[in-house]
């Protein structure tokens, strides 16, 4: 399914989707829930849709201006409501700035 960016499917059913057991946070409490996420034929397709989501949705406009500081980008996504996990920004920052990402990018 290549649902790497975990974009929820929403209504309409205009694109392929898949049900996934996930952890959502409601009033600070972690709960397990089955949610419908967009599914893609490839990682390239998933990243393209992620970029389209961020650029087309006004609530993420300020986040796209952050091009240098990965932590600020992650905090901006969290503040804009991208994820319910209260630790989302910290987790994303660790991935972006981690050794595996640096190695994969040749740095």
pTM of the model: 0.78
Residue 90 annotated among the catalytic residues of the structure: no
pLDDT in tens, 10-24: 766 678 999 999 999
- N-terminal to C-terminal alpha carbon distance within the chain: 29
CA distance 91 to 85: 9
Residue 106: predicted pLDDT:
73
Percent of the chain with pLDDT over 70: 95
Alpha helices in 1-107 (DSSP H): 43-56, 61-64, 70-79, 88-97, 99-104
Task: Report residue 24: phi and psi, to 5°.
Answer: -115, 155
* Active-site annotation holder among 35, 45, 49, 66: 49
Residue 24 annotated among the catalytic residues of the structure: yes
**How confident is the prediction for the chain on average, in pLDDT?**
88
pLDDT in tens, 74-90: 999 999 999 989 999 99
């Amino acid at each position: 399914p290549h649902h790497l960016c975990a974009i929820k499917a929403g209504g309409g059913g205009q694109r392929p989707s898949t049900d996934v057991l996930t952890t959502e946070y409601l009033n600070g409490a972690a709960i397990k829930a089955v949610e419908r996420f967009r599914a893609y034929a490839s990682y390239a397709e998933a990243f393209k849709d992620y970029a389209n989501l961020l650029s087309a949705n006004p609530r993420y406009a300020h986040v796209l201006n952050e091009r240098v500081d990965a932590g600020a980008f992650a905090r901006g996504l969290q503040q804009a409501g991208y994820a319910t996990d209260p630790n989302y920004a910290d987790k994303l920052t660790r991935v972006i700035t981690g050794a595996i990402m640096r190695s994969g990018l040749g740095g």
